């Protein structure tokens, strides 16, 4: 179920951002608005043929000296090796093959990950194709010529990328152990939660051999059920540069969330919830994952009988785009309500795979329409014909209507609320696809 991750690695100025933008089109997730921090695109959802994948650009800041370039490229390559299923190694036909290319290429080859050698800036295939031949010297297969700027050769390149999605590497462990990603800012207590869970439950496997991902997996058995906890705090890189740290922690979160069924956003109760938390949990929301908000260090908060409701309101307000999320107040230190966390995880797992019969859905729809008239525009009124659930994780519904343009976001939201009134679906996003009936 998890979407593959494709990472772009390459020297500065070979065209990584240009390629990223060409592939991502307008469907981008931007981490913006953080003062002084990465404003560029880090990851995006890409579709090609029947495939969907997450593209990440590992390139962060631009190093100035050649020493720095190599060091920074090695870091990038390591992140790609840790997180990606397929790596695009991007080079530049104009600058030709450089020493740093060969060194990084060695590192990528040794990782055993699928690597595609892509040569950019081949703006004119007749004129420059010969020049790509020197890249055979890298010994990682045929160079694939592209021009990111003129969008040439991208289709052929993507064909090669998606070929690797069928590799065994992507099959992963298909034994259906639910993945629970523990996400959040540094120091909120992610590792402490996992450690406490380790201490109180049976650990089946820790640090699964062969997982080269930059997150540590631990399978824990609780009440006879297994859960794979994915710890994004796992490895800390000693990066001096704040931009890089930020970028890498986002890439790590994206990769952990991608593999998970549920994301547990950990918040430090003393610090409170912030826009940064919203950004982090937004990654899980965009991907339709189950979401639980765990307010940690609850032992350290002075409480009266209003504290919980006040805190809940604050969380709901700042994280208003995930009204369906469950909120839980825990302490990794004392173990308070950690058992409850499993109950909520079980509930969310159940909700995200729940299927509602078409007949029942249409009863709800008919009733909802009778209670609140659908919107109209210039004398034309929205008609809803039929609704059916087409998939799970997240539960996804198709609504057939007379005119898509008339289906306002607010009316979809209204229908969503009616469905939630009837079935709850707590902890999971719901998706709606509006189709015109011909």
- Report if residue 9 touches ligand GDP, rule: CB under 6 A: no
Consult the annotation and say whether 231 binds a ligand. yes
In this chain, which stretch among 9-17, 313-321, 372-380, 400-408 interacts with ligand GDP, using CB under 6 A? 9-17
Q: Render 197-230 in DSSP notation, one character per residue.
A: HHHHSEEEEES-TT--SSSEEEEEEETTEEEEEE
Assess contact for 168 and 335: CB atoms under 8 A: no
In this chain, which stretch among 108-116, 190-198, 276-284, 384-392 interacts with ligand GDP, using CB under 6 A? 190-198
Position among 109, 333, 393, 420 found at the interface with ligand GDP (CB under 6 A): 333
- Report if residue 63 touches ligand GDP, rule: CB under 6 A: no
Q: What is the pairing mode between strands 326-329 and 376-377?
A: unpaired
In this chain, which stretch among 13-21, 29-37, 241-249, 287-295 interacts with ligand GDP, using CB under 6 A? 13-21
Residues 6+ apart with CB under 8 A from 199: none
Consult the annotation and say whether 437 binds a ligand. no
Position among 5, 14, 292, 344 found at the interface with ligand GDP (CB under 6 A): 14
User: What whole-number distance in Å separates Cα of residue 316 and Cα of residue 321?
Assistant: 9
- Report if residue 297 touches ligand GDP, rule: CB under 6 A: yes
Q: Render 257-291 in DSSP notation, one character per residue.
A: HHH-SEEEEEEETTT---HHHHHHHHHHHHTT-EE
Position among 54, 91, 191, 428 found at the interface with ligand GDP (CB under 6 A): 191
Assess contact for 118 and 157: CB atoms under 8 A: yes
Q: How far is the CB of 295 from ligand GDP (least distance, A)?
A: 10
In the region spanning residues 139 to 178, those forming contacts with ligand GDP, defined by CB under 6 A, are 147-149
Position among 44, 55, 79, 188 found at the interface with ligand GDP (CB under 6 A): 188
- Report if residue 252 touches ligand GDP, rule: CB under 6 A: no
In the region spanning residues 103 to 142, those forming contacts with ligand GDP, defined by CB under 6 A, are 120-121, 123
For tokens 């007749």, name the residue: 126
**CA 228 remoteness from chain centre:** 17
User: What whole-number distance in Å separates Cα of residue 48 and Cα of residue 40?
Assistant: 23
- Report if residue 17 touches ligand GDP, rule: CB under 6 A: yes
Residue 195: closest CA among 296, 283, 291, 343 = 296
Please say whether the dihedral angle defined by the alpha carbons of residues 327, 280, 346 and 203, taken in this order, is positive or negative: negative
- Report if residue 13 touches ligand GDP, rule: CB under 6 A: yes
Assess contact for 375 and 345: CB atoms under 8 A: no
Q: How far is the CB of 71 from ligand GDP (least distance, A)?
A: 16
Residue 10: closest CA among 89, 119, 103, 67 = 89
Count H helices and E strands in the chain, helices first: 13, 19
Residue 227: closest CA among 209, 254, 201 = 201
User: What whole-number distance in Å separates Cα of residue 347 and Cα of residue 338?
Assistant: 15
- Report if residue 61 touches ligand GDP, rule: CB under 6 A: no
Position among 190, 252, 285, 287 found at the interface with ligand GDP (CB under 6 A): 190
Consult the annotation and say whether 312 binds a ligand. no
DSSP H or E segment with residue 79: helix 66-83
Consult the annotation and say whether 16 binds a ligand. yes
In the region spanning residues 214 to 233, those forming contacts with ligand GDP, defined by CB under 6 A, are 233
- Report if residue 337 touches ligand GDP, rule: CB under 6 A: no
The site that binds ligand GDP (CB under 6 A) totals a number of residues, namely 31
User: What whole-number distance in Å separates Cα of residue 48 and Cα of residue 35?
Assistant: 34
Position among 6, 7, 9, 18 found at the interface with ligand GDP (CB under 6 A): 18
Residue 111: closest CA among 244, 210, 5 = 210
Position among 15, 60, 394, 395 found at the interface with ligand GDP (CB under 6 A): 15
- Report if residue 41 touches ligand GDP, rule: CB under 6 A: no
Task: List residues forming the annotated binding site for GTP.
Answer: 10-17, 57-61, 120-123, 184-191, 231-235, 296-299
Task: List residues forming the annotated binding site.
Answer: 10-17, 57-61, 120-123, 184-191, 231-235, 296-299
Footprint of ligand GDP (CB under 6 A): 10, 12-18, 59, 120-121, 123, 147-149, 184, 186-192, 233, 296-297, 299-300, 331-333
């Amino acid at each position: 179920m998890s979407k593959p991750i494709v990472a772009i690695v390459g020297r500065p100025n070979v065209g990584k951002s240009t390629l990223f933008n060409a592939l991502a089109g307008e469907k981008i997730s931007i981490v913006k608005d953080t003062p002084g921090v990465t404003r560029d695109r880090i990851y995006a959802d890409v579709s090609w043929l029947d495939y969907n994948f997450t593209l990440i650009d590992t390139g962060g800041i631009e190093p100035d000296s050649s020493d720095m370039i190599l060091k920074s490229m090695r870091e990038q390559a390591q992140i790609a090796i840790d997180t990606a299923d397929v790596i695009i190694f991007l080079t530049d036909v104009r600058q030709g093959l450089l020493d740093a290319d060969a060194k990084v290429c060695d590192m990528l080859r040794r990782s055993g990950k699928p690597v595609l050698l892509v040569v950019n800036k081949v703006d004119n295939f007749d004129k420059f194709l010969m020049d790509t031949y020197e890249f055979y010297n890298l010994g990682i297969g045929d160079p694939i010529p592209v021009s990111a700027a003129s969008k040439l050769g991208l289709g052929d390149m993507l064909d090669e990328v998606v070929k690797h999605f069928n590799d065994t590497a992507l099959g992963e462990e298909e034994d259906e152990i639910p993945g629970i990603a523990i996400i959040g800012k540094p120091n909120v207590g992610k590792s402490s939660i996992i450690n406490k869970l380790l201490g109180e439950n049976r650990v089946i496997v820790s640090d699964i051999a062969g997982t080269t991902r930059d997150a540590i997996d631990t399978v824990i058995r609780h009440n006879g059920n297994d859960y794979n906890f994915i710890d994004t705090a796992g490895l800390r890189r000693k990066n001096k540069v704040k931009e890089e740290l930020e970028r890498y922690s986002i890439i790590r979160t994206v990769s952990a969330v991608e593999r998970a069924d549920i994301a547990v956003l950990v918040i430090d109760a003393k610090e409170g919830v912030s826009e940064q938390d919203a950004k982090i949990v937004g990654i899980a929301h965009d991907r339709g994952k189950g979401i639980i908000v765990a307010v940690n260090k609850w032992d350290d908060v002075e409480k009266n009988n209003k504290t919980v409701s006040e805190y809940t309101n604050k969380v709901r307000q700042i994280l208003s785009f995930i009204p369906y999320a469950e909120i839980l107040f825990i302490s990794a230190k004392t173990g308070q309500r950690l058992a409850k966390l499993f109950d909520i995880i079980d509930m969310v797992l159940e909700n995200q795979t729940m299927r509602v019969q078409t007949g029942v859905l249409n009863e709800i729809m008919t009733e909802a329409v009778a209670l609140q008239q659908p919107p109209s525009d210039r004398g034309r009124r929205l008609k809803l014909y039929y609704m059916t659930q087409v998939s799970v994780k997240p539960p996804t519904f198709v609504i057939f209507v007379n005119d898509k343009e008339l289906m306002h976001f607010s009316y979809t939201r209204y229908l969503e609320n009616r469905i939630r009134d009837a079935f709850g679906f707590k902890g999971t996003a719901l998706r709606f696809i509006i189709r015109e009936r011909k």
